Structure 1
């Protein structure tokens, strides 16, 4: 497995409220996390960082060489712990009131990707040069789109496109989507904050990921570059994993 991770403040924001985590365990399993924080002052930064740290801590303490269902349960438990931590911090400190974060947390080995998802950060799989979105945005405009009230293009440019309907830390309980998919040699798994997907089209992302002339690191750099060239209106964070046919330790 090849790994690449990038984050950039973008061209507009004063603070990078995204946080990422990338851990290679002794068994060769990868823990990957992307969180996009929100809240006043530096609260979004606190929410995303605490979420990443808590999920990492919980998963590092576990045996990840387990069944798909057990991985899903571990992720659900880890996100629940992060939600509890962020919610409690916001309750105890008025400056952090209302803070929250999106999150995608994944357990990845040679056989499969298992992930937990809250918010509008996204995960994609490039398989046989086709790009497939694995997650569904928990956003107001996505609800409108699914109900046929606006088109996909209108959703992309809607003035409320950043309004999410689920987040870690904003309520005592959090609803988490659990997703799993097999993957195989030469597939590329992408996790990213919406600072990438609101700036760069899925077609462009697919073209970069399917390029045969760039290394994985170069692909990560190119995606950041494209988001910045398009305006860089938000923080941009991404993690890329490529299946090489061997474990991440090889």
Structure 2
């Protein structure tokens, strides 16, 4: 038989807070909780907007792995909605909301989570936390720097690192989970686990109906001195059609704003006790919700921030262009300036309206005095490492031109005619005494003067010189 959910939802403003920033929804195929934050920056607006967008996933036609894609898309649409609300009213800058959602298709669950609200499952008497807190203290626990017990009393246990806030980097955790008959599911805002231990939560989850469990859990939080809103959604996975809760339930800020109310809704007054000024003397002057996501306080003049950002961007672009231009002016190459060889400063590239090179030194060396190969190199421009390198290249070109000029000026020797050999005389030969061998002087290498001639240029390499 197909599994179904028997659910209940309840939200309480608490004994200290003046407004409820929690919103929750429970339906046949979706359990959803959002905890708004930002204090005066409209945390209740953020949570209500998130729930109103994501609750559309309560649809029996979405199942299997499609639930993950649907949850991711809904969370991103809710994030875009928060961005639109901030654009409409800049006073809302800094508001945000957690999101914890369980989507149910009758066979399995899809989880989407962002922030520090929690999702639990009770199975066979054991309580499991399905979500992972995106908080500062949880990061310390993950790194092994503090224990879970120390995190429970840490002074910064409410500081959130990731939240739905209208910015593009608000990506939720997504996961598929198994489910079976007899499971009990629970979503809650941080007003419960910050003041009630897992053992007490497990004891309350172990018996009763979903309606009685949400009342008991919220009562435990209030009696423990919770100074925050407290919201719970509890659902039993059953094999028979649900006895109660066929109609979806909407509680908290989402319900109050939908009714046009800014005060406490009926679910809040149902279990409140002890008056409205408990909590050990803590007053509204010190609202802990103001510190939950402190890095982004409200901005009264967003246009000034945008202008400042634009100025910074333009400054970075201008600085980059100036740096690039300064670099080009430290480069040199050897090229031609009319009929003469010249040293250029800059690079061989011009931009519209901007010249990146200029003649630095014009030489007396004429281009047509160079052989063809050297002339083609100069006309194509010869890159140099620096100014000294460019001058060295010009010196080599001048040497080549001088050697070619000498080679062309030197006369070509004419061949000397060889005398004809006279015929031998007739008659008796006359013997000629042999000459003594010629003495060859020997010179010590150390006493021989030496000079290092300049590198000669082959006349054949001077082709093309005019």
Alignment of 1:193-208 (within 5 A): 193-208=189-204
Task: Classify 1:121/1:84 alpha carbon distance in 2 versus 1 (closer, same or farther; 3 Å).
Answer: same
Take 1:56 and 1:85, find their aligned partners in 2: how far apart are those partners? 14
How far off is 1:158 after superposition?
1.2
Task: State which of 161, 177, 196 in structure 2 corresponds to 1:181.
Answer: 177
Counterpart check, 1:104 vs 2:89: no
How far off is 1:42 after superposition?
5.5
Name the structure 2 match of 1:141. Answer: 137
Take 2:123 and 2:48, find their aligned partners in 1: how far apart are those partners? 31
* 3-state SS in 2 of match to 1:115: strand
Name the structure 2 match of 1:167. Answer: 163
TM-score (norm 2): 0.50
Name the structure 1 match of 2:283. Answer: none
How far off is 1:194 after superposition?
0.6
* 3-state SS in 1 of match to 2:152: helix
Take 2:137 and 2:102, find their aligned partners in 1: how far apart are those partners? 25
How far off is 1:145 after superposition?
1.1
Name the structure 1 match of 2:6. Answer: 2
Take 1:244 and 1:140, find their aligned partners in 2: how far apart are those partners? 37
Take 1:32 and 1:38, find their aligned partners in 2: how far apart are those partners? 20
How far off is 1:64 after superposition?
3.4
Take 1:77 and 1:166, find their aligned partners in 2: how far apart are those partners? 18
RMSD: 1.6
Deviates more, 1:83-92 or 1:4-13: 83-92
Name the structure 2 match of 1:22. Answer: 26
Conserved 8 A contact 1:10-1:235: yes
Name the structure 1 match of 2:61. Answer: 64
Counterpart check, 1:243 vs 2:247: no
How far off is 1:66 after superposition?
2.3
Conserved 8 A contact 1:109-1:247: no
Conserved 8 A contact 2:47-2:96: yes
How far off is 1:163 after superposition?
0.8
Which segments of 5 or more consecutive residues in structure 2 lack a partner in the other structure? 247-466
Say which structure, 1 or 2, has more relative contact order (CA 8 Å, 6+ apart).
Answer: 1
Counterpart check, 1:84 vs 2:80: yes
TM-score (norm 1): 0.90
For residues 102-159 of structure 1, what are the alpha-carbon distances to aligned partners after superposition, in whole Å with 9 as ceiling and x for unaligned? Answer: 0112212332221100000000000000000000000011001111122212211111
For residues 144-191 of structure 1, what are the alpha-carbon distances to aligned partners after superposition, in whole Å with 9 as ceiling and x for unaligned? Answer: 111112221221111111111111125223121012211212210001
Q: Which has the larger radius of gyration?
A: 2
Take 1:193 and 1:129, find their aligned partners in 2: how far apart are those partners? 22
Name the structure 2 match of 1:128. Answer: 124
Take 1:86 and 1:107, find their aligned partners in 2: how far apart are those partners? 22
Which segments of 5 or more consecutive residues in structure 1 lack a partner in the other structure? 25-29
